Amino acid sequence: MDHHELGKGDQPLIVFVCQHGSAKSLIAAKHLERLARARGLQLHGASFGLEPDAVVPPHVVAGLAADGIDAEGYAPRLASRDELADAARVVTFGCDLGPLAPTGSVDRWDDLPMVSDGYGPARDAIVDRVTALLDDLS
């Protein structure tokens, strides 16, 4: 998928970046799209990692599936300057974008629970932040 497809036409792109692109950023992107649809908002969420895992950990796939979100077969993707530049908003989880950082502001959500310590509490904290972000965007 090239970066021109990510925004899905006129839908603003919200990019989430974590170290491995397979947990916090993926949970945030998938729940952003679910919550935006429920509000009638046209937004596209994308997840990237600075050092992407080869696959999404099984407990994350299972947690998302329990939330009604299919992440089976999703492959974590490497963050690039182009994708971040195309984003209406960039959010990071405990990582520094360094030279990839876009010229606009980057939201840092560094103080959230680790997904490896329990999917539920991490998901709840991420969904709270995504809800506040949607409030801010709408």
Question: For the chain, where are the alpha helices, taking DSSP H only?
Answer: 3-6, 24-38, 58-66, 81-86, 119-137
Q: What pTM, to 2 d.p., does this model score?
A: 0.91
Model pLDDT, residue 134: 95
CATH code for the domain in which residue 54 is found: 3.40.50.2300
Question: Is 68 within the bounds of a domain?
Answer: yes
Token digits of residue 89 = 């908003």
| pLDDT tens-digit series, residues 58-88 | 999 999 999 999 999 999 999 999 989 989 9
| pLDDT tens-digit series, residues 4-57 | 334 455 688 999 999 999 999 999 999 999 999 999 999 999 999 999 999 999
What is the domain range of residue 127? 10-132
Question: Is 41 within the bounds of a domain?
Answer: yes
Token digits of residue 24 = 């916090």
| pLDDT tens-digit series, residues 75-128 | 999 999 998 998 999 999 999 999 898 887 799 999 999 999 999 999 999 999
Question: Is 38 within the bounds of a domain?
Answer: yes
Token digits of residue 95 = 């990582």
Question: Is 21 within the bounds of a domain?
Answer: yes
